[in-house]
Amino acid sequence: DPDKKTEVVLLACGSFNPITNVHLRLFELAKDYLHETGKYKVIKGIISPVGDAYKKKGLISASHRVTMAKLATKSSDWVEVDDWESSQSEWLETLKVLRYHHQKLQSPDATNSLQSVTPLTKPGRKRKQEPNRHEPVKKKSQSPDVKSVPQVKLLCGSDMLESFGIPNLWKLEDITEIVENHGLVCIIRAGNNVQKFIYESDILWRHKNNIHLVEDWVTNDISSTKIRRALRRGQSIRYLVPDVVQAYIEKNNLYSPESEDRNAGVVLAPLQKHTSDSKN
Amino acid sequence: MKIRIPVILLACGSFNPITNMHMRLFELARDHLHRTGRYEVIEGIMSPVNDDYGKKGLVSARHRIAMAKLALETSDWIRVDPWESEQKTWTETVKVLRHHYKESLRSLQSKKELIENKQPIERSAEDSISYQHSVLPELKLLCGADFLQTFKTPNLWKEEHIKEIVEKFGLVCISRVGSDPAQYISESDLLTTFQHNIFLVKEWIQNEISATQIRHALCRGLSVKYLVPDSVISYIAHHNIYTEESEQKNEGDLLRPLKLQNTTVNPLND
């Protein structure tokens, strides 16, 4: 039925170190864009801060990052923070987080164990209801204008998309499954290279219909790195991050030259993992 | 004890509507002046332009002031001042500067009298210091780099006004990466003469939120959350301020300053 809209959940993974107005804007832009196509209905936004085990330089404790994100999303009626990823003891591939949230949508009472996060069959639009012993019968009644299965799409900026090209950072099969089974909503700035990047990748090109590029009409360059730099230099970050986040950072004196040195010289978890995997 | 010159920052503009970027300009300017070690920014004033300015899409000052008030509720040093918008007609920027400078002197004077009238035993250490070392405050015009460029627009500014602004008051000019106001200053003899009174501040964290784009987004039902304070968004929705109709206001009209210049220039024109 072409009039039925697909329900979408937007999932943003990242350090959020700290969360900024730009992070929050990604959701608003993505939602507006998807709604304007007439084909989607965005029902939820999820911010999933990465775990400390990611070992990125300057990454402060997940509990602070999660708290700040929660403070920042208090005023939103559809974007929330999920700390499942950050509470795992080991770093998790983004695909696993996507699968987890997708599964959670299917069966809200599924256990939160890693074992249940198995690859799903491709959710085609006209899929017959296959008997699947991992999924309970869907009990929820659906509104007439909505298609059966909500999709979880990865929301990101062009930097994440382009990071697909960094050697050993992503597994090829992960990228494939992300764009094939889930989809990407990527917020870009005018005059960027993302389209060229997609063109030059066979996998991305094949699934380009599932990669939504959304142009930001504001020239915004509020990166967390710049925020942390400003804080180290005693400069104001007001109006770049929500007031509550600025107050929290100030009260807890979160960012300093010392905090920026955390994990200095440590190999990033995905790089560590892929190098040791290939060694085995 | 090294005495720092107290500075008040004044930003004139449409604020149609006020955005996070407008407020950010104040923060950047304050940080910059403090870093010089010579100044202490004691106040920030936002002065929305009079409705008579005649800019396309300019909504009533009543709303623009109300929105600015809401946005600045959480700031402990920036406030909005309605004087300019309450005048009968559009007022040249230099006159707005003069007015606020007079006001700042007046309030300094009444503070002095307050301290004088206190019994010595009531005076705090702070009072004594500020009384003895009361340095006259300086009022500086806060603006973006594009503002500096408007000095070039024919008939928009009077030459003697530009001179008074940079000589008597001073400019704090925020520019983004990629633009070069220093070059523009070097191309103007007047600005070069007073370049010591023009503070150039670079915004490394790009955050260009154009109020025009905000209005367009609002008309089309797109989100402006996180670009404009929530309280302002609610106010706009509640009063249905920005519509296709409001955007047509003053359509085709000349800006007031251009109208004035045209009537005074060359009455012998046949």
- Residue B24 is nearest to which of A223, A227, A239, comparing CB atoms? A239
The alpha carbon of residue B221 is apart from the nearest alpha carbon of chain A, in Å, by 9
Q: Is A279 helix (H, G, I), strand (E, B) or coil?
A: helix
CA-nearest residue of chain A to B24?
A239
Beta-carbon contacts of A171 under 8 Å, excluding residues fewer than 6 positions away, are A93, A274
Q: Is B214 helix (H, G, I), strand (E, B) or coil?
A: helix
H helix or E strand, kind and range, residue A184: strand A184-189
Beta-carbon contacts of A120 under 8 Å, excluding residues fewer than 6 positions away, are A99, A102, A103, A181
- Residue A25 is nearest to which of B21, B210, B226, comparing CB atoms? B226
Q: Which single residue is written with the structure tokens 């290939």?
A: A278
Tell me, what's the pLDDT at A144?
A: 53
Q: Which amino acid is at B73?
A: E
User: Is the pLDDT score of A125 beyond 50?
Assistant: no
Q: Does ipTM come in above 0.90?
A: no
Tell me, what's the pLDDT at B126?
A: 61
CA-nearest residue of chain A to B71?
A239
Beta-carbon contacts of B187 under 8 Å, excluding residues fewer than 6 positions away, are none
CA-nearest residue of chain A to B72?
A239
Tell which wins on pLDDT, A39 or B266. Answer: A39
The alpha carbon of residue B260 is apart from the nearest alpha carbon of chain A, in Å, by 35
- Residue A220 is nearest to which of B23, B75, B206, comparing CB atoms? B206
The alpha carbon of residue B223 is apart from the nearest alpha carbon of chain A, in Å, by 6
Would you give per-residue pLDDT tens digits along chain B (270 residues)?
A: 678 999 999 999 999 999 999 999 999 999 999 999 999 999 999 999 999 999 999 999 999 999 999 999 999 999 999 999 999 999 999 999 999 999 999 988 888 888 888 777 776 766 655 555 568 999 999 998 888 888 888 888 999 999 999 999 999 999 987 778 898 899 889 999 999 999 999 998 888 899 999 999 999 999 999 999 999 999 999 999 999 999 999 999 888 888 887 655 444 444
Phi/psi class of residue A216: alpha, beta or left (left: φ > 0; alpha: ψ in -120 to 50)?
beta
The alpha carbon of residue A92 is apart from the nearest alpha carbon of chain B, in Å, by 30
Token digits of residue B19: 């955005």
Q: Is A139 helix (H, G, I), strand (E, B) or coil?
A: coil
Structure letter (DSSP) for residue A5: B
- B223 and A238 within 8 Å at the Cβ level: the answer is no
Distance CA(A99)–CA(A90), nearest Å, equals: 17
Under 8 Å between Cβ of B38 and B4: yes
Q: How far is CA B242 from CA A48, A91, B213, B268, in A?
A: 35, 47, 12, 43
3-state secondary structure A221-266: CCCHHHHHHHHHCCCCCECCECHHHHHHHHHHCCCCHHHHCCCCCC
- B207 and A75 within 8 Å at the Cβ level: the answer is no
The alpha carbon of residue A244 is apart from the nearest alpha carbon of chain B, in Å, by 11
Q: Which amino acid is at B225?
A: K
The model's pTM: 0.86
Tell me, what's the pLDDT at B131?
A: 53
Most B CBs within 10 Å: which of A218, A219, A229, as the mutation test of the B interface? A218
Q: Which domains does chain A have, with CATH numbers?
A: 6-108+149-278 (3.40.50.620)
Token digits of residue B142: 């806060």
Helices A243-252 and A62-73: crossing angle in degrees, nearest 10, is: 150
- Residue B225 is nearest to which of A22, A28, A221, comparing CB atoms? A28
Structure letter (DSSP) for residue B10: E
- A236 and B207 within 8 Å at the Cβ level: the answer is no
CA-nearest residue of chain A to B211?
A218
Tell me, what's the pLDDT at A76?
A: 97
Flag the least confident range among A15-29, A141-155, A235-249, B186-200: A141-155
Q: What is the pLDDT of residues A203-240, one digit of tens each?
A: 999 999 999 999 998 888 899 999 999 999 999 999 99
Beta-carbon contacts of A105 under 8 Å, excluding residues fewer than 6 positions away, are A9, A150, A152
Q: Which single residue is written with the structure tokens 């290279």?
A: A193
Q: Is B48 helix (H, G, I), strand (E, B) or coil?
A: strand
Cis preceding linkage at A18, omega within 30: yes
Most A CBs within 10 Å: which of B24, B224, B226, as the mutation test of the A interface? B226
- Residue A239 is nearest to which of B23, B204, B225, comparing CB atoms? B23
- Mean pLDDT rounded to a whole number for chain A: 87
Residues in chain A whose beta carbon is closer than 8 A to a beta carbon of chain B?
21-22, 24-25, 28-29, 31-32, 75-76, 217-223, 226-227, 230, 234-236, 238-240, 242-243
Q: Is B139 helix (H, G, I), strand (E, B) or coil?
A: strand
CA-nearest residue of chain B to A219?
B208
- A221 and B213 within 8 Å at the Cβ level: the answer is no
Q: Which single residue is written with the structure tokens 């309450």?
A: B86
Question: For B5-111+134-250, which CATH superfamily applies?
Answer: HUPs (3.40.50.620)
Neighboring chain B residues of A191 at a CB cutoff of 8 Å: none
Neighboring chain B residues of A223 at a CB cutoff of 8 Å: 205
